[in-house]
Structure 1
Amino acid sequence: MTTVHRESLAEQAAGLLLARIRAGEWEIGGRLPGETTLASQLGVGRSTMREAIRLLAGRDVLSTRQGAGVFVTATDVPEAWGSVLRRADIAAVIEARTAIEVEAAALAADRRTSAELSRMRDALAERGRHRADVDEHVATDAAFHRSVVVAAHSPILLELFDGFEPRSRQAMTEMLRGREQHGDDADQAVHERIYDAIASGDSQAAVTLARAHLTALRSMLG
């Protein structure tokens, strides 16, 4: 049995425990031995073992159930979200935007408040004023789309949008810099229609317009 031979840290113990999980010592859903047993096997104290379990639980590898024990929920640490985003190409970015923003548009049409409509309208106007410079155009475009997600009153969609937004902004900037023009009147008009659908409470029109806009954006990639 591999043990920690020097003064151990929780991260080292977590790494050794994860290696055993990866090796198949416990299947998904399997219950780990108690803290005392694991601590003895790894040559660490119970407090260190407890912290190691907490670290792996925070990485979605283990789950602690009060009164039942510690169970395996995954056989490896999920890849960091940031790494996934950095690898995503522009097409994947637009697909993810579609998943988030189409649903947000539908919810916003049903849930928006008058104050949120006012902020959405201000963001739309700001978008219209900043169409010459690519960076400003992308920033104001993102602000408008975020105002729609805010109006959806869905904390998970907003969390996804905010976590995804830096990579989305980078991808949109890269794409638009490769084109001769961007943010023309027709493009602004599309966003006006999305706003109008949300303002009028027409969720079906909001969905149709938001999806069509992002599908057209995706088609520009060829």
Structure 2
Amino acid sequence: MSLGALNPSPLVEQATERLLEQITSGKWPVGTRLPGETTLAKTLGVGRSTVREALRALAGAGLVQARQGSGVFVIATEPAENWPARLRRAAITDVYEVRIMVETGAARLAATRRTDEDIETLRTALEARRAAATGDDAAFVDADIALHAAVVSAARNPVLSDLFAEFAPALRERLIDLVDLLGLRSTDPNPGDHTHASLVEAIAAGDADTAERVLHEELTATLRHLHTT
């Protein structure tokens, strides 16, 4: 095996790339048992911890799998598609269905967990959304997403917040197209203002049922439009 020693930095990234080349080029086909950490570390000229991190990255990409007592084996020769790429490729209706499930649950939690600071953030975000109504579609969508992100943040669940953060870039692209496609701002530059105001006030009042219902109605109405467009 001829991998070649690595340059000083960044070692983990270089090690990952060098091992990836062996897999994607077919030199290590599916089913191959990789050399042990000590052997790989010596060949690459790095420490075992660097090799371990590189193997973890390859496992995360769906290329290798550790089998207890047997070693690390190649299970695929092409990296699995990552989540952001999958979202960009997904149908907008599929994205919206997931959005409904994530955000309505977040709204319910926000109504029971919000702090005074969260309420202030939500009201500020609502005013920012209103101010953005005088701008272009991209600015309005950014303000709209910022308000929804504030709702998710008020749910006080870091996993939900991380999920929304992963979701937001693909959602932004689709929403800008959606606003234009459906002509959502053709007659009203600030569509959904009343609904969003009701959502904010329901969360502020600790009314979980209303918060969930209002947001569910808002998002499902858009989804219905998408299914008939």
TM-score, reference length from structure 2: 0.74
Number of residue pairs matched by the alignment: 210
CA RMSD of aligned residues (A): 3.4
2:111 touches 2:205 (CA, 8 Å); kept in 1?
yes
1:53, distance to aligned residue in structure 2 (A): 3.9
Out of 203-212 and 105-114, give the one that drifted further. 203-212
Which residue number in structure 1 is paired with residue 113 of structure 2? 111
Q: Which runs of 5+ in 1 are unaligned?
A: 27-31
Residue 167 of structure 2 corresponds to 164
Distance 1:96 1:68, change over 3 A: same
Structure 1 residues 21, 190: closer, same or farther in 2, change over 3 A? farther
Correspondence 1:15-54 to 2 at 5 A: 15-16=21-22, 23-25=30-32, 34-36=36-38, 39=40, 44-45=43-44, 47=46, 51-54=50-53
1:176 maps to 2:182? no
- Output the TM-score relative to the length of structure 1: 0.76
Residue 7 (1) aligns with residue 12 (2): no
**Unaligned regions of 5+ residues in structure 2, if any?**
7-14
Residue 100 of structure 2 corresponds to which residue in structure 1?
Answer: 98
Moved more, 130-139 or 180-189: 180-189
> Residue 151 of structure 1 is aligned with which of 154, 158, 166?
154
| Contact 2:113/2:155, CA 8 A, preserved across alignment | yes
Match status 1:214 vs 2:216: no
In the TM superposition, what is the alpha-carbon distance from 1:151 to its structure 2 partner? 0.8
**Cα distance between partner residues in 2 of 1:25 and 1:111:** 50
Deviation sequence 1:149-208 (CA, Å, 0-9, x none): 111111111112122212211111101112334256772111122112211212122222
Which stretches of structure 1, 4 residues or longer, exceed 4 Å deviation after superposition?
Answer: 17-22, 61-65, 67-76, 183-186
Matched residue, 2:90: 88
Distance 1:205-1:20 versus aligned 2 partners, 3 A rule? farther
Equivalent of 2:203 in 179, 198, 207: 198
**Cα shift at 1:213:** 1.4
Q: Summarize the Cα distance change of 1:54–1:217 in structure 2 as closer, same or farther, 3 Å threshold.
A: same
> What is the deviation of 1:114?
0.9
Q: Is the 8 A contact 2:184 2:191 kept in 1?
A: no
Q: Is the 8 A contact 2:31 2:73 kept in 1?
A: no
Is 1:188 the equivalent of 2:185?
no
Which SS does the other structure have where 2:192 is aligned?
helix
